[in-house]
Structure formats: C-alpha cells, structure tokens
Chains A and B, each alone.
Chain A
Amino acid sequence: MTDSEKTAQQVRMCAACPKMCRHVCPTFFAWRSDSPTPHGRALLLHHDNLGLRQLDERAVEVIYQCLECSHCLTWCLPEIDIATIVEDARRILVSQDRFPKGLETIRSSVLSNHNPFCEPHEKRVAKIRFKKTKSADVIYFTGCTAAYREHGIANASIEALKEFGFNVSIPDDEWCCGSPLLRTGFTSEALEQARHNVEILNEMSGETILTTCPGCYRVLTQDYPVNDLRIEKPVMHLSQFLAKHIDKVPKGNLAGGVTFHDPCHLGRHCGVYEEPRLVIERITGESVKEMERSRDNAMCCGNGAGFRTLFSSQAKKIGGERVRQAALTGSRYLITACPFCRNLLASEAGETLEVLDLPELVMTVLRKR
C-alpha cells in the first residue's frame, strides 16, 4: 500500500467515526458545530478523494480551521493523525493557490522580512540585550515571537543562561524558522528560510543550539532533517538544556502554586514533558499542580498553525478556556514553555493568574532572592 493509499484508507475510516475524539478538539469547542472537527475534516477529504465533492471555499476554511494540535491523535485508537493529514491537504491547496487569503500577509512578510509580523528584519534583535561573543557554549535561536513580541522571554533566557555560567551567542542574521509556513502548506517558501538558517547555524561556533520556541524546535529537529537539511550541532529546547544542567539551576522557592501548560509542539509533537516540570520544581521548590488535561492530553492554547491570524475571536475563546482550566488548579502561576502559548494565555489570563514562560519564571525567582 502506498502512503497516499494508506492515508485515503485512514481518512475513510475517520470520516465515519462516531465522533470518538471530538470532545477534545479545540475547534469543536470554539464553534460547537460538527464542521470544524477531526472527523469533519476527514469527511471532506474522503469525498474529495472519491471525486464525490471537491473541496469548496467553506471546505478549505474548515481545513484551515485546524490548529494541528494533534490532541485528537491522543484519543484515537486507530492512531489517525489528522494534523498531518490536514497539513498534507494544505500543501495541495497552496499548490493550487486556494489557501485563505488571510494568510497572504504572513507568507509575504516571511519572504520579505523573515518574520511573520511584518516587522523590519534589521530590528530583529533590537530589543534583545546581549553581548557579541566569539566563542559561545550555546547559540540561542530566538525565533520570531521572542524577538518581536515576547522579547522578555529572550532576555530572560539569556540572563538565566549567563547566570548559570554559559556563554550565549545569537545568530547575526537569523530568519524565521519556517514553522508558520510549513504548518500552513507553504513548503517551498519555508525551505528557503530553512536553508539560510542551516547555513548560518553551521557556520557559527558553539556547542549547542537552543530554542525557546517549540515551533522552532520542532522544525529544526524534525522538518529540516526530513527535507535533507542538516544542522551539525545538537538542537535543544531550553527546558531540555536546563534539565540536563539541573545542578546549575539553584533550588528556589515561590509561593502561590504553579501549574504548567504543555505546548503542543513541545509535548505531543516532540515528546518533551518531563524536562520543563523538572526545572519548574527545582526553581520554585513546589510540585506542579497538574491541570486535569495535561501532558499528551493538554488542551491547545489556540495559537497554532495560522489560526489566530485567521480566526482571532475563536483563538481567544480557546485560550480563555485553557486559562480557566489552569485556574481550577488554584495556582497563582501558569507556566508554559512557548512564546506563542505565553502570548495568547497571558492575553486571556486577567488578574488572578500570572502567565510566565519558563525562562521568565527562572528569572522571577532569581530576582527575588
């Protein structure tokens, strides 16, 4: 059986599933309709495969309403990976120039500015405080969100790493990792960014490449190699790096209780669950108060795969629900390990819950000492 035959068979199975995973699909939560659901997306693709109904404009929208969070996969006994199937479908839609026009800005911005936010490339590191070093222990690949929208995360990461005795350098000319484009079907545009990044990262000296963005981490460690782009140094997410050097992280304390939101790209897509928890527990001296839905069952924050750009009110609704779930733990702090998640969750959190990215938490505790 070829890959496409196998996918067609899976889509056929899923299309008529008695909605076994719908209850965890964040887009079902946001719209409360059977359209933006795992089995709904599969049904559209099944009809298309059979030549029965081609994807019309609404069908394309339903395909692009998927957050690619893979929460459905956790609940799917036959292990049908809707996120990947959706991403494949998006690639075809892009090749036919049938993607939602709302994504055009992201696409062209990444192409011309190397970030999806229409910010000037030359300002990429403008808000990041760092000293250029020749020989570095770690190269910090900041990613666009920490560079332009959440520079507190970038600065906290650099400060924390320095505090723990590591030399940090930042690429002179980092481009968008390509994640927003890969996840929405713009492969060739993404790979253009990727090739550049591989080149500059391979030229730099440093032992390890660190990311704070799980989207970057996933792309650098999974999508680049799949596309024959090899980075010649180990790539780690900051949480993994700190967990590896946990002895250097001081034992701290922080009152009020902490809960942790697993980012989809870090957790379900890269299998990193323990490391952020280890770091949190070390630095706060408290065990993580787990949400009812955590680890591979964590709800998405609503900020993935182009979703917030296209459907901002639903993204806020999903983020608001995740905040509500966090509040049920009674914690004062909601920690995550992703600038994207941090950004959306913080915008929905209100007064009672403080949302921090992992390096921000580390620095908050260190500064209080």
Chain B
Amino acid sequence: MLDGKTKSGMAERLASIVGSDNVTLLETDAVLNAHDAWPLSEAKIRTGELLPIADVIVFPETAQEVAEILAVASEMEVPVVPVGGGAGTCGGTLPIYGGIQLDLKRMDKILHIDEKSMLVRVQAGVIGIELEEEVNRLGYTTGHTPTSLRASNVGGFIATRSGGSMSSLYGKIEDLTLGLEVVLPNSKIIRMKPMPRHSVGPDLRQLFIGSEGTLGVITEATLRLFPRPELRRFRSMAFPDVHRGLEAIRRIFRDGITPSVVRLYDPEDTAISMSNHFEIQDGDCMLLLAFDGLREIVALDEEKAVKICLEHGAKDYGEGPSKRWWEHRYDMYYPTELTTSGFSIGDTIDIVAPYDKLETVYYSMKAAMEKHDAFVMSHFSHMYQNGGSIYMIFFTSQRDAKTAWEVYKRIWDDGVAACLREGGTMSHQHGVGLSRSTYTEDELGSAFLVLKMIKAILDPIGIMNPGKLGLGVKE
C-alpha cells in the first residue's frame, strides 16, 4: 500500500486524466471492487476475511486515457491491475500488491458493425450480454456464450482466453478475435488489424490473448459475427460409462460432425445435475448435444451422431436433458444455502487434454482430489476433433476457515500435479490468475522462459498485474 501523500498525489494526477468523478480513493469502493468471482475470495468474504485492496481505482473511457494512466503508473512504479467484468474465477483482479485498479467498464461502446465482413468492433468494457443482444437484433451472434456472459466483458474474455459453451462449433475467443488494440506498459497504443488470416510473421494478437493484464491493457477488439442459426436442436444420450461416451464423441468429430454443444457428465455429475429431473439409471453418464445451422444439415448431423451414440451403447433421452441444461445453464452458479454454509468451498479445475490422455487425466485427477475429503464431479465439455476439456468440479466443507483453505489448496496442488503428470494442460478457459499462478512454470516447462523474456521486454519495471500468470511474483 502507498502512503497517504503518494496516494493522494497519484489520485490527483489520475483525476486530471479521467476527471475526478472517475477516480476513487475511498476504502469502501476499494473493498467493493477488489474481488472477482474466485471461489476462494468468495468463501473468504463469507467468513469475514478482508481481501487485499487497491490504493486507487480509476475508470478511463478511451485508450488515450489508459495510456496516460500507465505513464503515471510507470513513473511512480505502482502496480496496475486491469479489471474487466470482475467475474474471472482465478483471482486475476485481486490487487495483491495494492496500486491502481484500472477498471474498463466505462469503455462500453460498440463502435462499428461491419455486416459485409461480419465483424464487430467494440471497446473492451462492453459486457458480453450487451454485445450479444445488440448483434442479435441484426440477426447475428458472436458465437461466444460463456456462462459469465452477463458479467464479464470483452476485454476480460480476451485477457483470459475464455471459451463459450458452444466453442466446439464457433471456437474460443482466440478464434473469434480478429483485431486488437492494446496499450503497452510504456504507454504506446498498438493496433493489430482485423484480418481473416495472414502470413506476416507470428500472430502478435495471440501474445495478448490470454495475457491476463500482465503485458498491457486491451482497449478495443474486432470480433467475428455469425448469422444466427436457422435451427438449434438438442439431443441427449445416456452411456453406461465415461469410456463409451468419450469414444462416441471422438467418432462424432472424426466423422466430420461438429455439434455446437458436447457435454458428457460423469456418473456423479449426472446424478447431481440431472437425476432430479429425469429418470436415469445409477452410474449412467449423460451426453448433451446441440446442433446449430441450416435445417437440412442439422437433421443430417443429428441423425448421424445419434447413430454413433447408439452403436456405443447409449440410451436415447430425446431433447429433454440437453434442452433443460441450456435453459438452466446459469442456475448452478447462484449461491445456495448448502454451498455457502459454514466453511464450505468448491471450485473447478477446467483442464484440457488430447483424446489419448483424456481418460487417464480424468481418473488420476479424480483420485488425487478425492484423497482430500472432497466430493468430485465432472463433465467433459468443449470437445473438439483432437480432444477436449474436463470440468473437474470439487466441493469440500471443513470445521474452520484455516483447515478449509488448506484443504482447498491441497486439492488444487494435487489435482493440477496429476493433470500435468498425465499430459494434460491445467486450464482450458478460466486462465491462470492467482489460483494457478504458481503452477505456470511447470505447465509451460521450457517455454516459460519465452514468456518471462517477453514480460521483461514489454514491462521492464513490472507494473502490470504482478503476481499473476506466474509473472512478477514479489518476495
């Protein structure tokens, strides 16, 4: 934390950039803006722990203002933590070393919709749902449908390499982002033109997609648009075990069918998420599918996918469970008395692996996590031609806060270790933030050096979001 005099001097300089209404030094604002949706922060809030807070929060409206803010921060060597929607799940926006929280929510303009090229240019602070509703009115979708759509914003999506529930068909945000504007720590505003493809050296956009505020501030993006599908069909299939479900999924992609939704629930998750609403045999694994597109193609894809599932021993549940999931997909994120009582905590390790390793990763992680008094349930979602992601969801409830946070950490440590040991990658879409920061070096292995070198060049003073993404951790 900064001393009072430095703080007020800095606030004055920031106010001269963005106006005094858009800077706050008040402790109450700092407390209310500190946390994202990291389950550990949420659990600590419930039990009455105070989280680290920023010295000052600033709300710019333009890239130029962001550049000027970064100039002040560089000169004063003060940490800058970009804040998007503040709904990340990894503690990425926690200002662990104090400093400035640079909140982009006022950068909320949809700048241009290019119907010919099917592109939309937006400021980073536009919230997902605002953008989606606006393009829907013109008959388009962004194809990006994470369940944080109502809270997260475009900059946050890009900064964390997020993925929507229909990423199998539309792709993740790294596939959907064609153009980018970023303010570097040295205050230079750089722009990467929106191009469908290019062959001019490495794709520099990808350097900033997933950079989690450690390399600069994303201020604007050009995203792809898709016509809203003529038809969306839902289908549900119950398999006797995970293996047969995964084999069916693999075959579906191999046969050239690309559903928009592919989610296979393991027996525990099937029981918890679906048995209250549907008659399902104990131990069965429910696969939820959706198909988007032209009527004839959807009909053909669905027919072929169903045939593959039946050949793998599935029972046909029609559209029921899949459609119900779609209509209630936000429900599981609301607090409940059970999940928030006492010293309870749950989280999701959203790993990813190719098909040849997916099952081993799943069983190894499950065993490693269950060792620590955790209930673990999982679904395989965001599936692709070569593999896919697993939502390893855990929940534990302990007698006191200290034990709960320790158990929580052990579940994470051993879960991620098992994932890496078996050849998986520790996050498909949530990012690294604080919760995975210490594992980054193990995850990236020899390539971590490159990330560190890039960081050293772009952010030599180390002002940008220190302590996240395995970078800039201070003793």
By a beta-carbon cutoff of 8 Å, the part of chain A in contact with chain B is: 9, 12-20, 22-23, 32-35, 37, 40, 43-44, 46-47, 50, 52-53, 56, 58-59, 62, 76-78, 292, 328
Given the complex of chains A and B, what is the CA–CA distance between A24 and B194 in angstroms? 32
B29's partner among A12, A14, A18, A58 (CB-CB below 8 A) is A58
Instruction: Give the residue name and chain of the B residue nearest to A20 (CB).
Output: B334
B28 within 8 A of A: yes
Interface membership of B420, Cβ < 8 A = no
Q: A13-B337, A43-B45, A50-B48 are in contact. Are A23 and B29 (CB under 8 A)?
A: no
Q: Are A23 and B127 in contact (CB under 8 A)?
A: yes
Identify which of A15, A56, A78, A292 contacts B28 (C-beta below 8 A): A56
Do A53 and B337 touch (CB < 8 A)?
no
Q: Is the CB of B105 within 8 A of A14?
A: no
The residues of B with any CB-CB pair to A shorter than 8 Å are: 26-29, 31-33, 37, 41-43, 45-46, 48, 50, 57, 59, 85-87, 89, 103, 105-106, 108, 125, 127, 129-130, 133, 137, 148, 150-151, 330-331, 333-337, 340
7 nearest A-B residue pairs (beta carbon): A18-B37, A16-B42, A32-B105, A58-B28, A77-B334, A16-B45, A13-B335
How close is B420's CB to chain A, nearest CB, in angstroms?
A: 27
Contact of A16 among B89, B103, B150, B335 (CB under 8 A): B335
In the complex the two chains form, what is the Cα distance from A46 to B340 in whole Å?
14
Check if A53 sits within 8 Å of B31, measured CB to CB: yes
Check A34 against B127 for contact (C-beta < 8 Å). no
Q: In the assembled complex, how far is the CB of residue B94 from the closest CB belonging to chain A, in whole angstroms? A: 13
Which residues of A lie under 8 Å from residue B333 when comparing CB positions?
A: 18, 20
Report yes or no: A76 in contact with B334, Cβ–Cβ below 8 A.
yes
19 A-B contacts (beta carbon < 8 Å) = A13-B335, A14-B335, A16-B41, A16-B45, A18-B151, A18-B333, A20-B150, A20-B151, A20-B330, A32-B125, A35-B28, A40-B32, A52-B48, A53-B31, A56-B28, A58-B27, A62-B32, A77-B334, A328-B137
CB distance A22 to B32 under 8 Å? no
Tell me the nearest residue of chain A to B332, going by C-beta. Answer: A77
Let me know if A19 and B86 touch, CB within 8 A: yes
Are A43 and B151 in contact, with the CB atoms below 8 A? no
With A and B bound together, what is the CA distance between A355 and B165 in angstroms? 41
Contacts of A44 in B (CB 8 A): 28, 32
Given known contacts A18-B89, A35-B29, what 17 new A-B pairs fall within 8 Å (CB)?
A12-B340, A15-B45, A16-B335, A17-B334, A17-B335, A19-B150, A23-B150, A33-B33, A34-B32, A34-B86, A35-B28, A37-B32, A44-B32, A46-B48, A52-B48, A76-B334, A78-B334
Q: In the bound complex, do residue B32 and residue A35 qualify as a contact, i.e. CB atoms below 8 Å apart?
A: yes
Of the listed residues B28, B48, B340, the one surrounded by the most CB atoms of chain A closer than 10 A to its CB is B28
**Which residues on the A side are within 8 Å of B59 (C-beta)?**
32-33
Minimum C-beta distance from A256 to chain B (A): 21
Q: How far, in angstroms, from A32 to B107 measured CA to CA in the complex?
A: 9
CB distance from B278 to the nearest CB of A (A): 20
**Residue picked from B32, B103, B125, most chain A C-beta under 10 Å:** B32
**Which residues from chain A contact B46 at a C-beta distance below 8 Å?**
12-13, 15-16, 46
- In the bound complex, residues from chain A placing their C-beta under 8 Å from that of B133 are 292
Are A33's CB and B31's CB within 8 A? no
Interface centre among B48, B50, B87, B129 (most CB of A within 10 A): B48
User: CA A132 – CA B46 in complex, angstroms?
Assistant: 60
Is there an interface contact between B106 and A32, defined as CB atoms closer than 8 Å?
yes
Q: Does B33 contact A35, Cβ atoms closer than 8 Å?
A: yes
How long is the Cα–Cα vector from A9 to B32 in the complex, in angstroms? 19
Shortest distance between the CB of A42 and any CB in chain B (Å): 10
Query: Chain A nearest CB: distance from B151 CB in Å?
Result: 4
Residues on the B chain within 8 Å of A15, using CB = 45-46
B151 A33 Cβ-Cβ under 8 A: no
- A16–B89 CA distance with the chains assembled, in angstroms: 12
How far is B401's CA from A50's CA once the two chains are assembled, in angstroms?
Answer: 15
Distance from A164 Cβ to chain B, minimum over Cβ atoms (Å)? 40
Question: Are B31 and A23 touching (Cβ within 8 A)?
Answer: no
Chain B residues with CB under 8 A of A17? 42, 334-335
Chain B residues with CB under 8 Å of A50's CB are 48
Docked-complex contact B28 and A59, CB < 8 angstroms: yes
Shortest Cβ distance from B329 into chain A, in angstroms?
A: 12
Partner of B26, one of A13, A46, A47, A58: A58
Instruction: Tell me which of B28, B130, B151, B336 contacts A22 (CB under 8 A).
Output: B151
Residue of B whose beta carbon sits closest to that of A17: B335
* Minimum CB–CB distance for A93 against chain B, Å: 14
Are A32 and B43 within 8 A (Cβ)? no
- Min Cβ gap B302→A in Å is 30
**Which residues of chain B come closer than 8 Å to A16, judged between CB atoms?**
41-43, 45-46, 335, 340
- A224 CB, min distance to chain B CBs, angstroms: 33
Least CB distance from B93 to A in Å reads 10
Interchain nearest-CB distance for A197 vs B (Å): 38
Task: Please state if B45 and A22 are interface contacts (CB–CB under 8 Å).
Answer: no
Which chain A positions have C-beta within 8 A of B57?
33
Report the minimum CB–CB distance from B54 to chain A (whole Å).
Answer: 12
Contacting pair B27 A56 (CB below 8 A): yes
Instruction: Kindly list chain A residues whose C-beta atoms are within 8 Å of the C-beta of B31.
Output: 43, 47, 53
CB-CB < 8 A to A13: which residues of B? 46, 335-337, 340
Q: Given A58-B28, A77-B331, are A19 and B336 neighbors across the interface (CB < 8 Å)?
A: no
Give Cα A121 to B103, complex, Å.
48
Min Cβ gap A108→B in Å is 28
> What are the residues of chain B within 8 A of A12 when measuring CB–CB?
46, 340
Q: Is the CB of A33 within 8 A of B103?
A: yes
CA distance in complex: A105, B379 (Å): 58
In the complex formed, the residue of B with least CB distance to A56 is B28
CB distance from B472 to the nearest CB of A (A): 24
Specify which chain B residues have a CB less than 8 angstroms from the CB of A14 in the assembled complex: 335
Instruction: Please measure, in the bound complex, the distance between the C-alpha atom of A63 and the C-alpha atom of B85, giving whole angstroms.
Output: 22
Residue contact B28 to A19, C-beta cutoff 8 Å: no
Q: Tell me which residues across on chain B come within 8 A of A328, comparing CB atoms.
A: 137
Q: Tell me which residues across on chain B come within 8 A of A43, comparing CB atoms.
A: 31-32, 45
Known: A13-B340, A56-B28. A78 touches B48 (CB 8 A): no
Residues of B within 8 A of A22 (CB): 150-151
Q: How far is the CA of A136 from the CA of B315 in the complex (A)?
A: 70
Complex Cα distance, B27 from A32, in Å, reads: 18
CB distance from A53 to the nearest CB of B (A): 7
A227–B334 Cα gap in the complex (Å)?
Answer: 34
**Shortest Cβ distance from A124 into chain B, in angstroms?**
38
CA distance A13 to B41 in the complex (A): 13
Q: Tell me which residues across on chain A come within 8 A of B45, comparing CB atoms.
A: 15-16, 43, 46
A55 CB to closest chain B CB, in angstroms? Answer: 8
Nearest-Cβ distance from residue A316 to partner chain B, whole angstroms: 15
Closest approach, in angstroms, between the C-beta of B228 and any C-beta of chain A? 15
